[in-house]
Structure 1
């Protein structure tokens, strides 16, 4: 693995939101669940913004004063104070393993995968491409509503932030309003990351029926459904990761050089890029102190659940969080290095287990409970 250069931020300029979204969609926005920061919607539509194309050593970290403004979600959006942390960490990790992402974030499934967990229905990132304000407003409403007043129970977006899919952000899932046990959280994390990695390496094919894979067990009952997403009784793995059909076009240019050498189709390249990115998002979130309490040696002590009083400050690109952000980059680079060499899950499993604090006994137990 290539050693990353020392960070040397430089100043950026730019607005974060179209005026219509800032006034119409965010005026009443309450604090919402989040993860390490991403750049959700920009003047020209999400990933069109130049900020999303930065690597970590180019990113301007925020001032400590931003922590005090954590609860003022709409003000931070309107002022453009969000930082594309997930995008920057992922870009830097790919560069570190000798595969720099040359594309803009808007047309890179590698980057899209890294923010899939935050926006699985493509409601914010592709808001302007898929209907503009209507979808962006819906996404913000989903995020702003208090969990007890949830109206859209099938929404992957809502369930992943407030409900039983919080493990996608390395947090304890909630069922019937109560956080699940730490062991159940580790089990969900294990099964999810195993399945995502096997999608990324082609062990689970993009045309596989979701219900026939371990993804169907860890994502039960609501996959491929949602107000603005594709609905089908025969939901496939590709359907899950591409709910808005954004990546379905057969464009061979979407594959990188390594994927072309493997003879992959465009759909295979897209599915694998989205899956490994989604795995990296979960891994990166686990280093946010708003998600997981870690000891001085970075060993997980407790997976938290949203809502909690500490949520937000640990997600920001501020200096006090830099050790955790650096750890997220190191872990992302380790997993990408194994992935780039197409190592099997058996080789990756010990790294994942260490990151999430899963014992060898638990790994055997989870494999037995959730066979491939």
Structure 2
């Protein structure tokens, strides 16, 4: 890219609509080891692009997911340590998996990419931030217009994970009015799939259209993608760590389910416990509603995903770090799905008055309908 094009690109970047995104927040760049494994170049210009793009996106600006994950792996320091980008407890491939839900690698055809994206290369926020922002803006606009972005629509993975049928990756409903039971089943299906990869039952070369899990068939059954294509497209360094990547993706889902912008939960119940084998914890609050992001106000959502919101959450008895610790112990022991499924059933239990998905009264956008 010559100097003139770079100036033009940065000028365009500064005019991009500030479209917020979902999930507990992530850092914009990740650790050095994570970038190395993911095959992400970090030139001074690319770093400037990422940071410039992030000024206009309430998404990759606080390492909340990183801090939660590092605490799950035993970090006991302050946010400057546990959320830091240099010293971590969690393995880099796990952090890459945690990042995947928000920033999955994908490609688009030249007709979609136009002049903004390099369609011959894998697209991620960290590799093509300007392209990513323009596509995200388009997805947001289409979502507000009521477009369906699902497996049959042919849109890029980014559209589906944030505004379409794959919002269950963030413990959210795919659309306003989706029954809570359906969202919950998608969440449990994803948990089963990621766990099966994490313990080696589903291999990296397995085609997704052969995985007999309903949500995987519905979401990816039409593709010829493999597990490798899904999680490590353009990142060959991560492939030998596919189990950790899958476990990280699962942790992201669980973490998001404790963010108020994603899920409305009742208070935890001291009389109920969620267990994996003999190890257990106070049951998290039952789910009253999975929210749907499409019609939410981004600033309100971002506030609920902030570091401050996470620190307040840690004061609760059934907190997300403890949930993650139990899952980590089970992962390290390579427990079979049959042994951990009851824990997920408990952690994602619905209240008797669970409602269909909505933006949530505290998060509804004035631009919604």
**Structure-2 change in CA distance of 1:240 and 1:75 (3 Å):** closer
Q: Is the 8 A contact 1:171 1:185 kept in 2?
A: yes
Residue 296 of structure 1 and its aligned partner are, at CA, apart by 1.8
Residue 39 of structure 1 and its aligned partner are, at CA, apart by 1.7
Match for 1:29 among 10, 17, 26? 17
Q: Is the 8 A contact 2:26 2:60 kept in 1?
A: no
Q: Provide the TM-score with structure 2 as the length reference.
A: 0.64
Does residue 1:290 correspond to 2:261, yes or no?
yes
Determine the structure 2 residue equivalent to 1:169: 170
Residue 324 of structure 1 and its aligned partner are, at CA, apart by 2.6
Q: Provide the TM-score with structure 1 as the length reference.
A: 0.64
> How many residues of Structure 1 are paired with residues of Structure 2 in the alignment?
279
Q: Is the 8 A contact 1:197 1:275 kept in 2?
A: yes
Does residue 1:94 correspond to 2:73, yes or no?
yes
Residue 168 of structure 1 and its aligned partner are, at CA, apart by 0.4
5+ residue gaps, structure 2, are: 1-5, 36-51, 77-81, 107-122, 269-283, 352-369
Residue 202 of structure 1 and its aligned partner are, at CA, apart by 0.6
Determine the structure 2 residue equivalent to 1:304: 291
- The within-5 A match list for 1:246-257 is 246=235, 248-249=236-237
Higher mean C-alpha deviation, range 134-143 or range 286-295:
134-143
**Take 1:195 and 1:350, find their aligned partners in 2: how far apart are those partners?**
15
Deviations 1:312-359 (A, max 9, x none): 2211111x4424356122211211111011111122112211221169
- The within-5 A match list for 1:60-209 is 76-77=55-56, 82-95=61-74, 108-121=92-105, 123-127=123-127, 132-142=128-138, 144-147=140-143, 148=145, 153-174=154-175, 178-209=176-207
Residue 291 of structure 1 and its aligned partner are, at CA, apart by 0.5
Determine the structure 2 residue equivalent to 1:278: 249
SS at match of 2:185: helix
Residue 208 of structure 1 and its aligned partner are, at CA, apart by 0.9
5+ residue gaps, structure 1, are: 1-17, 41-45, 53-72, 226-232, 255-266, 360-372
Deviations 1:188-230 (A, max 9, x none): 0111101110111111111111101035x414566499xxxxx
**Structure-2 change in CA distance of 1:214 and 1:116 (3 Å):** farther
Pick the structure with more strand per residue: 2
Match for 1:234 among 212, 221, 224? 224
- The within-5 A match list for 1:15-26 is 23-26=11-14
**Structure-2 change in CA distance of 1:224 and 1:74 (3 Å):** farther
**Take 1:271 and 1:170, find their aligned partners in 2: how far apart are those partners?**
22
Residue 137 of structure 1 and its aligned partner are, at CA, apart by 4.0
Q: Considering only aligned residues, what root-mean-square deviation do their CA atoms show, in Å?
A: 3.8
Determine the structure 2 residue equivalent to 1:210: 208
